[in-house]
Amino acid sequence: MSAEEFVGRKFHEYYGAHFVSEPLNIERREFGFGVFGKKISERHFAFKSLQDFNHFLRDQVPFYASCSPAHYEFPDAQPMSAKRLIGGDLLWEFDADDFKTPCAEGHTLWKCPKCSLSGTGRQQYCTSCGEKTAIEEWVCPECLDAVKKQTLELLKTLQDDFGISEGLSVNFSGSKGFHVHLRSESYFKIPQAGRVEMLNYLTGHELDLKELGFLSGKRALGSVALKPAKGWQSKVLESAISFLEKCTAFELHSLTSLREKEAATLLESREKIIEGLREGRLFEFGKKSPEFWKAVLEKSAEGHKLKIDRQTSIDIAKIVRVPETLHGSTGLLAKKFAMEELAGFDALKESIVFSTNPVRVFVERTPRFCVGGEWFEAMEQKEIELPEFAAVFLLARNSARLAEK
Amino acid sequence: MLPLGELRFAQNYPFSATAQSVVKNSGISLESVPKAVLQRARILLSSALEGKEHNLSVQEDSELIVNEVLAFPVAKILLSFSKNSSYFDRFAEFIAESSFKRLELERNEILFDLAQELGLKFGLPEEKGFFAEIPVQEYLRIPHSAMRMHLVNQKLLKGKVFLSQSEFARFLADAVRLKVFQSLPVKAEDLKKMPESFKKESLEIFAQVSERQRQAMAQVLSGKIVVESFPPCFSELYSRLSSGEQLSHYGNFSLASFLIAIQMPRDKIMELYRKAPNFDERVSGYHIDRMSRGKKYTPASCNTMRSYGLCIQNGALCPGIKNPLQYYRRKLFAGAPRLPEGKEAPESAAGPETEVKE
């Protein structure tokens, strides 16, 4: 039996036994589906009800199911303009690939298509023949944790700055990240330019410290007091204060143009500096002051910039994974969960839907990887018995084939 | 007739409900627009399309003020004959900018009156130091082009944007731009009511304008490809691709559509894309052919480039430019675009060569 056939059968069993109760407002959305190895092979589908959608999942067993955040009058019409846009959800996507966490070096594989040399890490060109390599990305709990932190920060900003308390929902993408959906009447009709503005706010794109009231004025040392500060003003100030409360002279020297000795002298006035910052004054200590504050404030802003996938967030017509459906590259569920569960959510464990029954597979090549709460050692050209969920995980991503009996 | 104060308000803000009631009460029908009104409408229109300053004459005579007020809807009708949305955009921008200049000098009540007339949602903040608070959804409904008005540079808390008086004036001007733009073109039945001779005259005006533009464009395009005149965004993408860097999907797509639009030969485009690490002759060839021969793709506007994070320094290097093609055309045709004081034109990222060499 081929990997495709085996994974297809497993998906069929799953959809036969589970009712997918997503997405909301199903009748207004465009759907697209993918086959083994291809995320979207057909689109412009529409369903009148969740029952119809579930029938389709059971009958056709797609490897990937995606739908639009956009709501249309005629979701299956073509071309796109004939669908007649009514409005849409807002969607923010985080993907571990965008985070470049140090752990990725250990679980990213490369292979040369010309001389077949392979290795670990993000090696772009073959170390032997110089040919462009093929890169294979994997994820681990550490990179998903980095994604999770940003997702939590996003939810906090949406609540604190935008005052959004209802209509938010979070789900695992089923592979490398998280999706946050906002289904809210008051944001339903926000035009495209407004979506971009909102995304820019969240990602700090086009952030201008001077426009925010910092580093302005005659001597470029204008600032804002913590009390009336709002939006990015508060984020920048709070981070700057927290950094200056703890930083060492060496850290300050590494960040700014100050020599370590100068930084140490400056830190003797730490309390005064922080007090000034709270009250809207940037401490002046000579010629290097403007440059120093620029570096400190820019660093403070940087930490709050969310690494959201721009394309997915801007393009309302782009179709994305339907929550609670299976991901064809992993066999994991795009699991939806309550916001308060996010901090403790173990995506690679809690999205498992397949059994622990043993399945014998022949593994092509993997790094050390984690799935279902278990770590598996790196393997290459090896026949092994794995629990079904791990076998599906490897078969779906073409890293293994079923062992011949 | 309204009191002089209200008439002046209508003259200053010709899109307002007050101005609309002046038009309604004037008793003038579209079939019998006085020559003086037509004359003012023509001046208003040419000021808008050619980017000139339009100074409102300070009139004491109510009738003359009414003529000024009437000139606005007539200008909109004339403009609608052009069916050209870039003219609509320029006109809306012009009206918004004129309004902003006046709004900055107005008393607080006038700002609030106008906000109400425009149907904008706003509140008066309890916290000192702010002039008005706007629900963020309302703020996002209106496009804002000034850097300081971008949401990321605003004071946002619990779903409200807190504005100073000057920012509120800018917010109103941005709402005016949207309102005027959305009101164009006027209804087809109003266009039908205009005398035939006037329609003909309007079309001639626009034909002249577009002919001038066409000639300018043709002249630009008939020449060689001058890489150093590329706008900063495409200069950057061009340079990165030339040095073998892999561009994002949108970077590739927008650069290709720009190069096609300035009529770079296919083989030159392919030669450039061949440097991409993920180059595939068949795929790239297919896309370039499809973009140039099949479905026409308009090169991305500055707004779109900004959306995808491809704009350089948030447009600070190209003030007044809305489309990268416009930059290229201006730089080739009329020298470098106007730059802010103290800023120099960006060096071409592509190096000293000014042409694409064999």
Judged by a CB distance cut-off of 8 A, whether residue A212 touches chain B is yes
- pLDDT for position B131: 95
Residue with the larger pLDDT of the pair A29 and B334? A29
- Identify the band that residue B220 occupies on the pLDDT scale cut at 50, 70 and 90: low
Quick check: A403 pLDDT over 50? yes
Is A370 within a domain?
A: yes
**B241: pLDDT strictly greater than 90:** no
Q: What are B168-180's pLDDT values in tens digits?
A: 999 999 999 999 9
Regarding predicted confidence, which is higher, B288 or B170? B170
How large is the average pLDDT for residues B61-80?
87
Distance from CA of B341 to the nearest CA of A (A): 17
- Contact yes or no for B23/B73 (Cβ under 8 A): yes
In this prediction, residues A144-169 reach a mean pLDDT of: 95
Residues β-bridged to residue A387? A358
Same domain, A388 and A267: no
Provide the Cα torsion B293, B295, B301, B307; round to 10°: -120
A334 and A375 in a single domain? The answer is no
In B, which residues are within 8 Å of A229 by CB distance?
155
Q: What is the pLDDT of residue B358?
A: 26
| Residue B67: predicted pLDDT | 87
Closest CA–CA distance from residue A100 to any residue of chain B (Å): 17
Q: Which range has the worst mean pLDDT, A11-15, A226-230, A373-377, B94-98?
A: A226-230
Does the pLDDT of residue B84 top 60, yes or no?
Answer: yes
Residue A27 has pLDDT above 60, yes or no: yes
Distance from CA of A209 to the nearest CA of B (A): 8
Nearest to A132 among B150, B277, B308 (CB): B277
Which residue among A161, A163, A206 places its CB closest to the CB of B150? A206
Judge: A231–B154 Cβ closer than 8 Å, yes or no: yes
Phi, psi of A129 (to 5 degrees): -110, -5
pLDDT at residue B341 tops 60: no
Q: Is B154 left (phi over 0), alpha (psi -120 to 50) or beta?
A: beta
* Inter-chain touch A311–B308, beta carbons under 8 Å: yes
Rounded to whole angstroms, the Cα distance separating B149 from A309 reads: 24
CB A352 within 8 Å of CB A331: no
Question: Does A167 lie in the same domain as A122?
Answer: no
Residues A169 and A92 in one domain: yes
On the question of pLDDT at B309 being above 90, the answer is no
Give residue-wise pLDDT tens across range B113-147: 999 999 999 999 998 889 999 999 999 999 998 88
Which range of residues forms the domain containing residue A68?
A: 3-96+157-198+309-345
CA-based angle B157:A214:B121, to the nearest 5? 30
Contacts of B250 in chain A (CB under 8 A): 311
* pLDDT recorded at residue A405: 67
Contact A194, B140 (CB under 8 A): yes
Q: Do A198 and B140 touch (CB under 8 A)?
A: yes
Query: CB neighbours of B335 closer than 8 A, spacing ≥ 6?
Result: none
Place of tokens 């403790």: A344
Instruction: Please compute the mean of the pLDDT values over residues A46-58 and round it to a whole number.
Output: 97
Using the beta-carbon criterion (under 8 Å), do A187 and B162 form an inter-chain contact? Answer: no
Q: How many domains does chain A have?
A: 4
Closest partner CB to B151 (pick from A186, A187, A201): A201
pLDDT of res. B27: 84
Co-location of A239 and A385 in the same domain? no
Taking CB atoms and an 8 Å limit, are A211 and B153 in contact across chains? Answer: yes
Lowest-confidence pick of A96-110, A160-174, B44-58 = B44-58
Inter-chain residue contact A196 with B144, CB threshold 8 Å: no
**What's the pLDDT at B143?**
93
Is residue A42 within 8 Å of residue A63, measured between CB atoms? no
Cis before A387 (ω within 30): no
Strands (E), chain B: 132-135, 155-157, 160-163
Which residues on chain B place their C-beta less than 8 Å from a C-beta of chain A? 127, 129-130, 136-137, 140-141, 143-144, 147-148, 150-160, 162, 249-250, 277-278, 303, 306-309, 314
Q: What is the pLDDT of residue B59?
A: 62
Distance, in Å, from the CA atom of A295 to the CA atom of A291, rounded to the nearest integer, reads: 6
Q: How many residues does chain A have?
A: 405
Chain A residues with CB under 8 Å of B162 CB are 230
In chain B, what are the domain boundaries? 1-82+187-218, 227-334
Mean pLDDT, residues B187-216: 74
The answer to whether the Cβ–Cβ distance between A163 and B159 falls below 8 Å is yes
Q: How far is CA B267 from CA A119, A314, B218, in A?
A: 37, 33, 21
Q: Does A225 contact chain B (CB < 8 Å)?
A: no
Return the pLDDT at A247: 94
Q: How confident is the model at residue B336 (pLDDT cuts 50, 70, 90)?
A: very low
Mean pLDDT score of chain B: 81
Average pLDDT on B42-54 reads: 76
pLDDT over 90 at A161, yes or no = yes
pLDDT confidence tier of residue B57, bands split at 50, 70 and 90: low
- Provide, as residue numbers in chain A, all residues whose Cβ is less than 8 Å from the Cβ of B150: 197, 200, 206, 211
Please indicate, yes or no, if residue A132 is contained in any of the structural domains.
yes
* A307 near B CB under 8 A: no
Contacts with B137 from chain A: Cβ below 8 Å:
186-187, 190
- Percentage, residues of chain A above pLDDT 90: 80
Query: How far, in Å, are A251, A363, A378 from residue A274 at the CA level?
Result: 17, 57, 49
Q: How many Å apart are CA A239 and CA A38, to the nearest integer?
A: 43
* SS3 assignment, position A221: coil
Could you tell me if B33 and B70 are in contact, meaning their C-beta atoms sit under 8 angstroms apart? Answer: yes
Q: Are B95 and B180 in contact (CB under 8 A)?
A: yes
Q: Does residue B344 carry a pLDDT above 60?
A: no
A158, A165, A195, A211, best to mutate vs chain B, most B CBs in 10 Å:
A211
* Alpha-carbon distances of B178 from A350, B26, B184, rounded to whole Å: 48, 26, 10
Q: Per-residue confidence at B188, pLDDT binned at 50, 70, 90?
A: confident
CA–CA distance, B11 with B4 (Å, rounded to integer): 10
| A88 and A169, same domain (yes or no) | yes
Question: How confident is the model over A284-306, as a mean pLDDT?
Answer: 92
Between B209 and A349, the more confident residue is A349
Question: A88 with A172, same domain?
Answer: yes
Query: Could you check whether the bond before residue B73 is cis, i.e. omega within 30 degrees of 0?
Result: no
Write the CATH number for A182: 3.90.920.10
What's the complex ipTM?
A: 0.91
**Total length of chain B:** 358
Check CB contact under 8 Å for A206 and B153: yes
Cα angle at A202 between A196 and A207, to 5 degrees?
Answer: 85
Look at residue B351 and tell me whether its pLDDT is greater than 50.
no
Q: Compute the Cα dihedral for A145, A150, A154, A157 and give only its sign.
A: positive
A79 touches chain B (CB under 8 A): no
Strand ranges (DSSP E) for A142-217?
A: 168-172, 177-182
pLDDT for the residue A167: 93
pLDDT class of B342 with cuts at 50, 70, 90: very low
Judged against a pLDDT cut of 50, whether residue B31 lies above it is answered with yes
Highest mean pLDDT among B27-36, B74-83, B203-212, B223-232: B74-83
Alpha-carbon distance of A202 to A198, in angstroms, equals 6
Q: What is the pLDDT of residue B321?
A: 83
pLDDT band with cut points at 50, 70 and 90 for residue A223: confident
Report how far residue A38's alpha carbon sits from residue A59's, in angstroms, rounded to the nearest whole number.
19
Give the pLDDT of residue A342: 93
d(CA A86, CA A185): 12
Nearest CA in chain B to A190: B141
- Residue B320 three-state SS: coil
Q: Are residues A285 and A394 in the same domain?
A: no
Read off the pLDDT of each residue in A234-256 and give the average, rounded to a whole number: 94
| Residue B337: predicted pLDDT | 35
Adjacent-strand bridge partners of B320: none
Measured CA to CA, the distance from residue B290 to residue B297 in angstroms comes to 9
Q: A272-276, B131-135, B281-285 — which is least confidently predicted?
A: B281-285
The residue type at B48: A
Task: Give CA–CA dist B69/B67, Å, rounded.
Answer: 5
Indicate if A358 and A337 belong to the same structural domain.
Answer: no
Q: What is the mean pLDDT of residues A264-287?
A: 91
Q: Using an 8 Å CB-CB cutoff, list chain B residues near A314.
A: 307-308
Q: In this predicted structure, what is the pLDDT of residue B216?
A: 62
Percent of chain B with pLDDT over 90: 30
Q: pLDDT band at residue B334, thresholds of 50, 70 and 90? A: low
Residue A387: pLDDT over 50: yes
% of chain B at pLDDT higher than 70: 84
Cα(A287)–Cα(A319) distance, integer angstroms: 53
Can you tell me the mean pLDDT for B195-218? 72
Calculate mean pLDDT across residues B238-262. 86
B78 to chain A, closest Cα gap in Å: 28
- Select the residue from A182, A187, A206 to test the B interface by mutation, using most B Cβ atoms within 10 A: A206
CATH number at residue A390: 3.40.5
pLDDT in the model for residue A212: 93
What stretch of H or E contains A156? helix A141-160
